[in-house]
């Protein structure tokens, strides 16, 4: 087999530079908690392919379901000749997502596509143009979702002009907003909308219940419920982007469950199908069904192989109780992250997150000035010692931890040992 070095050379001559990678080693295989490269070097996986392989890589039920589906048929296009698994995935999503009301779902390929479609549905159903989004938000890389995303580098830089009628308001970010309560931060956001946009012009308020790329920002308690209440009163569609937080990741099926917030529409992707590309919009039947037949879709949306994988993944989440697994991961990680923070000489300002979506934010000691250089250094030390971690944050100063939910305690501890040594 070719070495990683040789593959990297080939890549340089064949793959566009704009597509980056966290490590320069090339994968041979991966499991429930590790990734192994072509040289046989192993990494403890604290990335899960960006919160995708919640059920682990090549989870047995997923492999079996995919194999069986590939042999039956690979693609007919649901818009041409429909099949049961698409309907079954929609049934599962309607039942699992927050809210006891009547729901419908539609399936797509990527998270960005799900967000775009949620916005299309909200605009169509309300007849209003504006979309409200938050500081530090990340919603994807297509034209509309770049407009919805906050951070310029690397996501938006020189890729404009962007879609219009997108308005950004302040987020609840307890470390950096002077410790506003959830209600106070929501009032600040709502005032911005009412003064600068006008509630009657707003189709949708779009929010990640815990922000992902933006820095694993957990809003103060009460922030999401207050926004939900305002949206209801203003007839604004409340869209939760649960693309990174969904499917047991945060110790609930969905992060909105934590404060019993019921979004009108939910955008889903990442953890949905054990690594196969699938995304969905699920929400109130009257909103979803407002769109004329043929108004939603796409050639590959709800591909039968991806649907088979999603059904098997969801079964695995139930069978292995991955909600409990995410909480167990939190109970193993948080005490050790706190110990790392205490020994860091003030370089870790905060340990935060929920379930298996955890992060540490790095600062200059004694301040809240971001330390992206230190963050990159710790990250690089982890990578060379065999731990796959990711960074995030508007300031590039957050280390985030997203292990597969089936990772073993032994692998978690080994990963934490590497992390602790990297900090030292």
Residues found near ligand PLP in the complex (CB under 6 A): 110-112, 115, 138-140, 208, 212, 241, 243-244, 269-270
Contacts of 221 (CB under 8 A, 6+ apart): 182, 259
Q: Is the dihedral of CA 31, 35, 37, 43 positive or negative?
A: negative
Specify whether the backbone of 178 is left (phi greater than 0), alpha (psi in -120 to 50) or beta.
left
- 3-state DSSP assignment of residue 82: coil
Q: Structure tokens of 280?
A: 């969905």
Smallest distance from the beta carbon of 282 to ligand PLP, in angstroms?
15
Instruction: Kindly tell me which of 145 and 397 has the beta carbon lying closer to ligand PLP.
Output: 145
Nearest in space to 166 (alpha carbons), one of 142, 182, 184, 187: 142
d(CA 206, CA 137): 9
d(CA 410, CA 134): 38
Smallest distance from the beta carbon of 343 to ligand PLP, in angstroms?
31
Smallest distance from the beta carbon of 223 to ligand PLP, in angstroms?
17
Residue nearest to ligand PLP (CB): 111
CA 411 to the chain's CA centroid: 23
Q: What is the DSSP string of 5-47?
A: HHHHHHHHHHS-TTS--S-S--EEEE-SSEEEETTS-EEEESS
CA 192 to the chain's CA centroid: 26
d(CA 42, CA 386): 6
Smallest distance from the beta carbon of 373 to ligand PLP, in angstroms?
25
Q: Report the chain's terminal Cα–Cα distance, integer Å.
A: 36
Instruction: Kindly tell me which of 124 and 141 has the beta carbon lying closer to ligand PLP.
Output: 141
Q: What is the DSSP string of 151-218?
A: --TTTTTT--PPPSSEEEEPPP-TTTTTT--HHHHHHHHHHHHHHHT-GGGEEEEEE-SS-STTT---
Instruction: Kindly tell me which of 48 and 418 has the beta carbon lying closer to ligand PLP.
Output: 48
Residue 57 DSSP class:
T
Instruction: Kindly tell me which of 244 and 344 has the beta carbon lying closer to ligand PLP.
Output: 244
Smallest distance from the beta carbon of 252 to ligand PLP, in angstroms?
16
Instruction: Kindly tell me which of 96 and 422 has the beta carbon lying closer to ligand PLP.
Output: 96
Instruction: Kindly tell me which of 271 and 374 has the beta carbon lying closer to ligand PLP.
Output: 271
Instruction: Kindly tell me which of 140 and 182 has the beta carbon lying closer to ligand PLP.
Output: 140
Smallest distance from the beta carbon of 109 to ligand PLP, in angstroms?
8
**Which contiguous run of DSSP H or E holds residue 326?**
helix 322-343
Smallest distance from the beta carbon of 275 to ligand PLP, in angstroms?
12
Smallest distance from the beta carbon of 209 to ligand PLP, in angstroms?
9
Instruction: Kindly tell me which of 305 and 416 has the beta carbon lying closer to ligand PLP.
Output: 305
- HSE at residue 176, side-chain half, CA atoms within 13 A, is 21
Smallest distance from the beta carbon of 381 to ligand PLP, in angstroms?
25
Smallest distance from the beta carbon of 205 to ligand PLP, in angstroms?
15
Instruction: Kindly tell me which of 48 and 341 has the beta carbon lying closer to ligand PLP.
Output: 48
Residue 275 near residue 146 (C-beta atoms within 8 A): no
Instruction: Kindly tell me which of 139 and 328 has the beta carbon lying closer to ligand PLP.
Output: 139
């Amino acid at each position: 087999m070719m070495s990683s070095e040789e593959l990297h050379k080939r890549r340089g001559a064949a793959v566009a530079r704009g597509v980056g990678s966290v490590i320069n080693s090339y994968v041979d295989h991966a499991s429930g908690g590790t990734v192994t490269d072509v040289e046989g070097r192993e990494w403890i996986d604290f990335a899960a392919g960006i919160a995708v392989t919640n059920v682990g890589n090549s989870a047995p039920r997923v492999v079996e379901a995919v194999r069986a589906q590939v042999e039956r048929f690979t693609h007919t296009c649901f818009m041409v000749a429909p099949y049961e698994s698409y309907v079954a995935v929609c049934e599962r999503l309607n039942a699992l997502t927050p809210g006891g009301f009547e729901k419908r779902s539609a399936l797509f390929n990527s998270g960005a596509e799900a967000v775009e479609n949620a916005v299309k549905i909200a605009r169509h159903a309300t007849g209003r143009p504006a979309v409200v989004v938050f500081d530090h938000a990340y919603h994807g890389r297509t034209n509309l979702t770049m407009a919805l995303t906050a951070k310029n580098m690397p996501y938006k830089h020189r890729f404009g002009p962007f879609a219009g009628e997108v308005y950004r308001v302040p987020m609840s970010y307890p470390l950096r907003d002077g410790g506003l309560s959830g209600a106070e931060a929501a009032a600040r956001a709502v005032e911005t909308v009412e003064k600068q946009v006008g509630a009657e012009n707003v189709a949708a308020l779009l929010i990640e219940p815990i922000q992902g790329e933006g820095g694993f920002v957990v809003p103060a308690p009460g922030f999401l419920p207050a926004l939900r209440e305002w949206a209801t009163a203003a007839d604004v569609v409340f869209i939760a982007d649960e693309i990174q937080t969904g499917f047991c990741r945060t110790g609930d099926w969905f992060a909105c469950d934590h404060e019993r917030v019921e979004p009108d529409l939910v955008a889903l992707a990442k953890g949905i199908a054990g690594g196969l590309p699938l995304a969905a919009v699920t929400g109130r039947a009257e909103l979803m069904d407002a769109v004329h037949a043929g108004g939603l879709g796409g050639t590959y949306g709800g591909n039968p192989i991806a649907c088979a994988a999603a059904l098997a993944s969801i079964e695995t989440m139930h069978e292995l109780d991955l909600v409990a697994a995410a909480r167990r991961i939190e109970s193993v990680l948080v005490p050790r992250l706190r110990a790392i923070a205490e020994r860091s000489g003030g370089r870790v300002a905060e340990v935060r997150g929920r379930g298996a979506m955890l992060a540490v934010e790095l600062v200059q000691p004694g301040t809240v000035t971001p330390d992206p250089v230190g963050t990159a250094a710790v990250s690089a030390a982890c990578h060379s010692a065999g731990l796959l971690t990711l960074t995030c944050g508007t300031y590039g100063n957050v280390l985030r931890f997203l292990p597969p939910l089936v990772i073993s305690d032994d692998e978690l501890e080994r990963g934490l040992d590497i992390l602790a040594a990297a900090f030292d």
